[in-house]
Structure formats: structure tokens, C-alpha cells
Amino acid sequence: MRFIHAADIHLDSPLTGLSSYADAPVERLRTATRDAFTNLVSLAIDEQVDFMVIAGDLYDGNWKDYNTGLYFVKEMGRLDKAHIPVYLLHGNHDAESEMTRKLLLPRNVSVFESRKPSSFRLDSLGVVLHGRSFKDAATLENLAGTYPDAVPGLINIGVLHTALEGNAMHATYAPCSLAELHAKGYDYWALGHVHEYALWRGDSLVVFPGNLQGRHIRETGPRGAVLVESGPSGALDVQRVYVDVLRWHRLDVDVAGCSNFEDVARTIGQALEGLVEATTESIPLAVRVIVSGRTAAHGELFSMEAQLRQEVLASIAALGNDRVWLEKVRLDTHAIDDGQSLRERADALADLQDLLAGAQDDPVFLKALHADLCGLLGKVPLELRNAVPHFDDIKGGDLTALIGEIRPSLVAHLAKGE
């Protein structure tokens, strides 16, 4: 017995932030979730699996474009021709989807009820699946506690959309504990909602397959589903299968040994070259470069993200590699000098450093600065507001961290220009 367990497909999930980058592969990203799902269906057919389980969030909220639903129906038709049934559970995003409520599905797709748990018996395979769909997006009830007891003599599979315990990064929908799932007596729990792959062994095999396709830089690394197979003894084996068509990657570059802007650009170029050489797969990469370290180049790098981005793009072009797209360059460097050498100089720069240091505790200055920055904040596009962490501090009136970060950068920059 073999089946595919997938979740969090988020078909046609709208993309945000790409308008900031003229060179972004918008069309490739726009169709990525569909292309990944097409790959999954093709894999299921090639592997001749007995069935497929989708553990929630097939759609992406109240998305009214029926072309998304028609695409899904077409792919289900491919599975129907291959005699592969699909067991679909609605998650929080599906519960608010208009397509979930109105679109008729092909005959090979069975949907778990939302009012109470429902079960599907596959006697020819010795399998029974139990599940309960979300009726409302914000489902805070412990759904697992309502699932039926395990059926003796069959492989019991529980399908559940849940944050499980300890997943603070995800909304705590359908909360339950790992111990509770193990105690249910099922052989396998096909979970959804958490976008990272995770597996726990115990009285039950509990699995999050992760989402099918990374959609932004917070979803890095390979993405896909799991292929589950039962051996002669009934034991279940889980194998990850990757179907993503574009992969997000964080490239951390330590520039502690760099003395100027040019050194930093060359070091990033070398890191990119190493990344390309180490990537044997042909899948395109969307890369965010994180530049860090205590470096003599810190002052020169101040507010130079845009220029550094152009240098990194030039390095990618020189590699002759069309599989790498630069999503962003983020500077997170620090000055080597803590300011002591400047204080010993007793000149204008030393006075400026002391003035900026005192500004962090000057209520009059902080009030005036806050008023100026709030005026600026109201004119900033939403995409930029979400991308700059200090904007939250400005709204909250806490400017200490902002001034503390700018002070060494500004002084080092002026010292270099001296």
C-alpha cells in the first residue's frame, strides 16, 4: 500500500513585494504553486500510488478566481483516469474560500465533513482514513479529540489540520498535543498547517509534509510532500519527495576580513560562485544575501544596499548562471571599533559621537525625531513598511535601537570620508 500525503498547497497564492524588483521572475513565481502541484500529480501517476491525501489549505483564502478551481479539477481528472482517489480535508484557508463552498469536484475526490469527523474505508487495501474539515477559518476547537477510535485490523490514518503544540509561528488552530495523537491508536497522522517538514515516531507516525512550494524567503530549502509505503509487516516507511519549481535560499556571507566596499563585493561574489558549484540540481534559486560580521568596511557600507545589489547582480551575470535570482541584499554588519579610538582623538568626530550617544537618552530630541519619522512613515509604501523592522519601533515610539544602530555607522562613514 502506497499513498502520497501533501498539505498547504495554497494554489495561486498571491505574491507580495515583487514589484520592488524590476528583474524579478514574476511569471515563474506566479505559476510556481500550480507547477509544483502538477509535478505532484505526475509523480503520483508515475509511482502508481493507491491514493492521495491533502491535509488542508488547498486554496489560499477568499480567492475568487475560478480559474484556480478549474485548474484543480483538471488535475484531479488526470488522477481519476489513473484510478487514484483523493481524500481532501479543508483547512483554515479553505474554510473561507468561495470555491470550497460552490465548486463541484470530480468523482474521485472525497471531502471530509466539517460538522463531525467522517471516515473512509478502503477495505481492499486494509486502510481507513479519519478526518474532520474546518467549518470556520478560525477553528480553535480541539478537533482531534472528536475523532473516532481506531478500527481494529486496519491501518488507521488520521488526517488533521493543526498547529500542534509549540508551533508559535503558526496560528493555533485546532490545537492538540503530540501525546494526544500518539494515544489515539492510529498508525499514521497526516497533518497540515505547519509549512515545515517534521516527523515524530512513537505509538503513531506523525508527519507534517511541509508546503508544496516555497512562496517567499521565510520558506527556504526544498519543498514537497511525502510518499508513504507499508511493508509486509505493516510498518510504514516515509520518504520525502520534492516537487517545487523554484527554491528560496539564504546565503550568509561573513565579511569580517574585508576592509572596504570592493572587498565585500568580491567576497559575496565568491560565495555565490560556491553556491552555484554546490547546487547540482537544475532548479532555479531565489537568493537573499545576508552580509554580516564585524568589519572595517562597516562605515562604508552604511546605506549602500542598493549599490551592493548592483555589484551582486554583476557577479551573478559574470557567472553566466540564469538559475539564480537575487531577491535582496541585507546588511547586518557591525563596526570593529567600539568608539574608543574616536573618543581619544578629541576632535569634531569625537564630539559628534558623544552627541549621538547622548541623543538616545534626550527626551526632547527623541520627541522631535519621533514626530519627523512618523510623518515620513505615513508616506512610505506598505511593502517597504513591512520590510523595515525599525518601522514598528517608530510606530511604538521606541527609537533607542534605531539610534544605536545608526550612530556607529554614521560616525564610521564620516571618519572614512574625512
At 2, is the pLDDT very low, low, confident or very high (cuts 50, 70, 90)? very high
Closest CA to 55 of 166, 177, 150, 144: 144
More confident residue, 161 or 15: 161
How do strand 224-230 and strand 236-242 relate by DSSP bridges? antiparallel
For the entire predicted model, the pTM comes to: 0.81
Residue range 269-296, pLDDT digits in tens: 999 999 998 988 888 899 999 999 999 8
Superfamily of domain 2-242: Metallo-dependent phosphatases (3.60.21.10)
Identity of the residue numbered 2: R
pLDDT at 158 (0 to 100): 97
Say yes or no to pLDDT of 153 above 90.
yes
pLDDT at residue 412, rounded to an integer = 65
Supply the pLDDT for residue 52.
98
DSSP string, 286-311: EEEEEEEEEETTHHHHTT-HHHHHHH
Q: Max CA-CA distance within the chain?
A: 87
| Cell numbers for 61 | 483564502
Highest-confidence segment of 184-193, 316-325, 345-354, 370-379: 184-193
Percentage of the chain with pLDDT > 90?
49
Cβ(295)–Cβ(256) under 8 Å?
yes
The answer to whether 61 and 93 are in contact (CB under 8 A) is yes
Where are the alpha helices (H) located in 146-233, listed in sequence order? Answer: 178-183
Assess whether pLDDT exceeds 80 at residue 23: no
Q: Are strands 51-55 and 86-89 parallel, antiparallel or unpaired?
A: parallel
In sequence order, what are the residues at sequence separation of 6 or more whose Cβ sits closer than 8 angstroms to the Cβ of residue 413? 299, 300, 302
**Domain map of the chain by residue range?**
2-242, 246-336, 341-418
